Homo-oligomer: A and B are copies of this chain.
Amino acid sequence: MSQPKDQVVNKTAHPFERPSLESLLIRRFFFAPAFEIYGGVKGLYDYGPPGSSLQANILDTWRKHFIIEEEMLELDTTIMTLSDVLKTSGHVDKFTDWMVRDVKTNEVYRADHLIEGVLEARLKGDKEARGVQAVQEEEDATAKKKKKKVKSVAVQLDDAVVAEYEAVLAKIDNYTGAQLGELIREHKILAPDTGNEVTEPVEFNLMFDSSIGPTGQIKGYLRPETAQGHFVNFNRLLDFNNGRVPFASAQIGKSFRNEISPRSGLLRVREFTMAEIEHFVDPLDKSHERFSLVKDIKLRLLPKDVQSAGRTDISELTIGEAVSSGMVDNETLGYFLARIFLFLTKIGINPARLRFRQHMSNEMAHYAADCWDAEIETSYGWIECVGCADRSAYDLTVHSVKTQNKLVVRQPLKEPRVVEKIVAQLDKKAFGPMFKRDAKAIEEAILALSDECLKKAMAELQEKQAATIEANGQTFEVPVSVLQIQPQQIKEMVREFVPNVIEPSFGIGRILYSLLEHSYWARADDVNRGVLSLPPVVAPIKCLIVPLSNNTEFKPLVARVSHQLRSLGVASRVDDSNASIGKRYARNDELGTPYGVTLDFASVKNNTMTIRERDTTLQLIGSIDDVIQLVAQLCRGDLSWAEAQQKLPAYSGEQEA
Which of chain B's residues have a CB closer than 8 A to the CB of A258?
Answer: 212-214
A106 closest partner in B (C-beta): B215
Verify if A47 is at the interface (C-beta below 8 Å from B).
yes
Which of chain B's residues have a CB closer than 8 A to the CB of A523?
Answer: none
A32 closest partner in B (C-beta): B236
Q: Interface segment, A6-14, A112-120, A237-245? A: A237-245
Copies in the complex: 2
In the assembled complex, the Cα of A28 lies from the Cα of B76 at a distance in Å of 15
- Provide the A243-269 mask, 1 if CB < 8 A to any CB of B, else 0: 000000100011010111100000000
Contact A204 B214 (CB under 8 A): yes
Verify if A137 is at the interface (C-beta below 8 Å from B).
no
Given A69-B566, A215-B106, A215-B108: A80 in contact with B256 (beta carbons within 8 A): yes
In the assembled complex, the Cα of A403 lies from the Cα of B39 at a distance in Å of 9
A262 closest partner in B (C-beta): B213
Q: Interface segment, A52-60, A279-287, A472-480? A: A52-60
Which of chain B's residues have a CB closer than 8 A to the CB of A240?
Answer: 28-29, 48-49
Which of chain B's residues have a CB closer than 8 A to the CB of A462?
Answer: none
Contact B232 A37 (CB under 8 A): yes
CB distance from A102 to the nearest CB of B (A): 12
Partner of A42, one of B55, B204, B210, B213: B213
Contact B260 A38 (CB under 8 A): no
A591 closest partner in B (C-beta): B240
Interface of A is mostly: mixed
Verify if A484 is at the interface (C-beta below 8 Å from B).
no
Which of chain B's residues have a CB closer than 8 A to the CB of A36?
Answer: 232-233
Q: Interface segment, A81-89, A126-134, A435-443? A: A81-89
Contact B399 A37 (CB under 8 A): yes
A576 closest partner in B (C-beta): B242
Contact A38 B232 (CB under 8 A): yes
Given A46-B229, A82-B38, A260-B214: A51 in contact with B76 (beta carbons within 8 A): yes
Contact B35 A81 (CB under 8 A): yes
Q: Which of A380-416 contact B (CB under 8 A)?
A: 399, 403, 405
Which of chain B's residues have a CB closer than 8 A to the CB of A239?
Answer: 29
A240 closest partner in B (C-beta): B29
A572 closest partner in B (C-beta): B71
- Provide the A479-520 mask, 1 if CB < 8 A to any CB of B, else 0: 000000000000000000000000000000000000000000
CB distance from A50 to the nearest CB of B (A): 8
Partner of A35, one of B34, B42, B82: B82
- Provide the A55-81 mask, 1 if CB < 8 A to any CB of B, else 0: 110000001000011010111111111
CB distance from A482 to the nearest CB of B (A): 28
Given A35-B81, A75-B47, A106-B215: A210 in contact with B232 (beta carbons within 8 A): no
In the assembled complex, the Cα of A77 lies from the Cα of B48 at a distance in Å of 8
In the assembled complex, the Cα of A37 lies from the Cα of B233 at a distance in Å of 8
Verify if A631 is at the interface (C-beta below 8 Å from B).
no
Given A68-B566, A210-B209, A215-B108: A41 in contact with B82 (beta carbons within 8 A): yes
Contact B106 A212 (CB under 8 A): no
Contact B34 A78 (CB under 8 A): yes
Given contacts A46-B229, A69-B566, A108-B213, 20 further A-B contacts (CB under 8 A): A28-B240, A29-B239, A34-B78, A35-B232, A37-B403, A38-B232, A42-B213, A45-B78, A47-B77, A48-B233, A49-B75, A55-B76, A56-B63, A99-B214, A208-B211, A212-B270, A213-B259, A214-B258, A214-B261, A222-B222
**Could you list 7 examples of A-B contacts with CB < 8 Å?**
A34-B229, A41-B220, A47-B77, A51-B76, A68-B566, A213-B261, A214-B261
